[in-house]
Chains A and B, each alone.
Chain A
Amino acid sequence: MARTEPTAAAAPEPAAKDDLEDLEAGLDALDTVPTGGGTPWHRTLVQKVLPPLAAVVVVVLGWQALITFGVVDDPAKLPSPSDVWDQVRTAWLQGTLFGYIWTSLSRGLLGFLLALAIGTPLGLLVARVKFVRAAIGPVLSGLQSLPSVAWVPPAVLWLGLDNSMMYAVILLGAVPSVANGLVSGVDQVPPLFLRAGRTLGATGLRGLRHVVLPAALPGYLAGLKQGWAFSWRSLMAAEIIASSPDLGVGLGQLLENGRNASSMPMVFLAILLILIVGIVIDLLIFSPLERRVLRGRGLIARS
């Protein structure tokens, strides 16, 4: 393309320029690592799906072996896999299986969303306002090590045996994680980004929106992930301890019912469901979200 060049040294200029352009194109081509397309589905199957399935099979086989070879000979202590499976079938046929799951899951997710709505502005406040950080920062990180089951007795006394008490326990368990995740995310924003943002004119609220918050996203997501785990755990603690006919039967209640009825298969069923729900939510929501963000920034390799 034709450009008007300043007068100095006009003669060697065009040759030198074209030369530079070609050189640059060559360098770019050499420096650019070709990125492969997506992974073929069968490789995903072998690398991602097969190993956890194999682990589950090994555990179930080991479990069965304990019973078959009489290592544990008391069905009241260790039910066989088929006993637990019968329990699953019964609950399924009675139509109560999804009822248990949904009672707990809806509470857990709603509680988590509330924790998000409270923890996010709180974290932002702690991260950005020095006075607030000095005042409640240490308490907020300390709260994370307080087992949320400790909140159940006071919550019952304050709020009585109803759903609001469940939500209170979830919030007390999950809000610190969400807030702390955001605080550490903001703290870890490279100072270079802040300087670059300031020279571009992103100061104050614009700096927050265009630089600080996007840069803090990975830390925030890690906080959310932990926040969900804490929500779920706190809820289970609350459901196990606080039972009332008004509250319906969630997974924690199911576990407690199993204990009261001395029904080990029911206890196992409840524990398995609690575990599975926790894992599935993480696999369906948080892990993909986190991977997407990290991959977009080149922080983990494409796999």
Chain B
Amino acid sequence: MATTLATAADSAVQAATSAARIEHVTKSFATPAGSQIVLDDISLDVAPGEFVTLLGASGCGKSTLLNLVAGLDHPTSGSIATDGRPALMFQEHALFPWLTAGKNIELALKLRGVPRRDRRERAEELLELVRLRGAYGKRVHELSGGMRQRVAMARALAQDARLLLMDEPFAALDAITRDVLHGELTRIWRETNLSVLFVTHNVREAVRLAERVVLLSSRPGRVAREWRVGIPQPRRIEDADVAELSLEITDQLRGEIRRHGKD
């Protein structure tokens, strides 16, 4: 793919061992004040089937990194190799309002080359997977926020990608709905053997979901620290283990933020 600076043969070899391999990626943007480095020498590996959350305060470039992995933008230097084209979910559902929920999913199937006769059935299966059996003919505006994000998840899954990128997908939802969708995402992740790279600024959410939490520092974004989360799934966001680790990570995150006040 276009973002790969490594040769095709290299990425084929890497594909077997990781869903995404980010190597020494630097990204800078031109600003009136000169070039600003957003991401500085980031290296990160997502193993097949692994759930990784990227955590950081504003300005850590986590969304930029996700765009790079998604192939929507190119790194200034370094290389990114992914196992096929990844699927991407946004904070906004980004469903097309001129299509029904079912047809949104079918469009993803169509663009992937699934033959017409199979699309309807596959779309129904995916809606079933996100527990929205009756929503096939519903227009996007007829669905609640949580239901929209689930349709968006079904549409992302329709791409049959091996890597799912999620850019704060639950940030705009109310706490109860978000909690339920955490459970859904965990269930679907375990049922589908998907790799997930999930960006958030919510520490509890990161710990609740991930096998590995990667903390990015801000301006420029660097990998500050990583934690393996050994707490068995299904977890709840209220679990004492989750709270304990969250506290530790929050302290470190606050430390990262404080550094900027001293500059």
> Which residues of A approach B to under 8 Å, CB–CB?
3, 5-6, 8-9, 12-13, 16-17, 20-21, 23-25, 27-28, 31-32, 35, 192-193, 195-196, 198-202, 206, 210-211, 214-215, 217, 293, 296-299
- Of the A-B pairs whose beta carbons lie under 8 Å apart in the complex, a sample of 12, sorted by A's number, is A8-B232, A21-B131, A27-B176, A28-B144, A28-B147, A32-B147, A35-B142, A195-B90, A198-B72, A217-B98, A297-B139, A297-B140
B96 touching A201, Cβ below 8 Å: no
Contact residues in B for A5 (Cβ distance below 8 Å): 190
A23 touching B98, Cβ below 8 Å: no
Question: Nearest chain-A residue to B182 (Cβ)?
Answer: A20
Question: Nearest chain-B residue to A196 (Cβ)?
Answer: B94
- Assembled-state Cα–Cα distance A198/B71 (Å): 9
Contact residues in A for B87 (Cβ distance below 8 Å): 199
Residue in A199, A293, A297 whose Cβ sees the most chain B Cβ within 10 Å: A199
With A210-B111, A298-B97, A298-B142 known as contacts, the answer to whether A20 contacts B159 (CB < 8 A) is: no
B184 touching A20, Cβ below 8 Å: yes
Contact residues in A for B108 (Cβ distance below 8 Å): 200
- Assembled-state Cα–Cα distance A215/B99 (Å): 10
Contact residues in A for B98 (Cβ distance below 8 Å): 214-215, 217, 293, 296-297
The count of residues in chain B whose C-beta lies closer than 8 Å to any C-beta of chain A is 41
Determine if B112 is an interface residue (Cβ-Cβ < 8 Å): yes
Separation in Å of the A282 CB from the closest CB of chain B?
23
Contact residues in B for A199 (Cβ distance below 8 Å): 70, 72, 85-88, 159
Contact residue among B139, B147, B155, B234 (Cβ-Cβ distance under 8 Å from A296): B139
| B127-161 with Cβ < 8 A to chain A | 131-132, 139-147, 155, 159
Determine if B233 is an interface residue (Cβ-Cβ < 8 Å): yes
Determine if B15 is an interface residue (Cβ-Cβ < 8 Å): no
What secondary structure prevails in chain A residues at the interface with B? helix
Would you list the 3 A-B pairs with minimal beta carbon distance, nearest first?
Answer: A298-B141, A31-B144, A196-B94
Separation in Å of the A141 CB from the closest CB of chain B?
26
A27 touching B146, Cβ below 8 Å: yes
Question: Nearest chain-B residue to A214 (Cβ)?
Answer: B98
- Assembled-state Cα–Cα distance A299/B141 (Å): 9
Separation in Å of the A211 CB from the closest CB of chain B?
7
A9 touching B234, Cβ below 8 Å: yes
A192 touching B92, Cβ below 8 Å: yes
Separation in Å of the B44 CB from the closest CB of chain A?
20
B94 touching A193, Cβ below 8 Å: yes
Determine if B183 is an interface residue (Cβ-Cβ < 8 Å): yes
Question: Nearest chain-A residue to B144 (Cβ)?
Answer: A31
Contact residues in B for A21 (Cβ distance below 8 Å): 131
With A199-B72, A200-B108 known as contacts, the answer to whether A24 contacts B131 (CB < 8 A) is: yes
Question: Nearest chain-A residue to B141 (Cβ)?
Answer: A298
Contact residue among B70, B112, B132, B140 (Cβ-Cβ distance under 8 Å from A298): B140
Contact residues in B for A17 (Cβ distance below 8 Å): 187
Determine if B248 is an interface residue (Cβ-Cβ < 8 Å): no
Contact residues in B for A28 (Cβ distance below 8 Å): 132, 144, 146-147
Determine if B180 is an interface residue (Cβ-Cβ < 8 Å): yes
Determine if B107 is an interface residue (Cβ-Cβ < 8 Å): yes
Contact residues in B for A198 (Cβ distance below 8 Å): 72
Question: Nearest chain-B residue to A12 (Cβ)?
Answer: B234
A297 touching B141, Cβ below 8 Å: yes
Separation in Å of the B65 CB from the closest CB of chain A?
15
Separation in Å of the A217 CB from the closest CB of chain B?
7
- Assembled-state Cα–Cα distance A299/B98 (Å): 11
B177 touching A27, Cβ below 8 Å: yes
Question: A-facing mask of B75-99, CB < 8 A → 1, else 0?
Answer: 0000000000111101010101111
With A17-B187, A195-B90 known as contacts, the answer to whether A214 contacts B96 (CB < 8 A) is: yes
B140 touching A9, Cβ below 8 Å: no
Contact residues in B for A31 (Cβ distance below 8 Å): 144-147, 177
A200 touching B111, Cβ below 8 Å: yes
- Assembled-state Cα–Cα distance A56/B180 (Å): 57
Contact residue among A23, A35, A193, A201 (Cβ-Cβ distance under 8 Å from B180): A23
Question: A-facing mask of B28-69, CB < 8 A → 1, else 0?
Answer: 000000000000000000000000000000000000000000
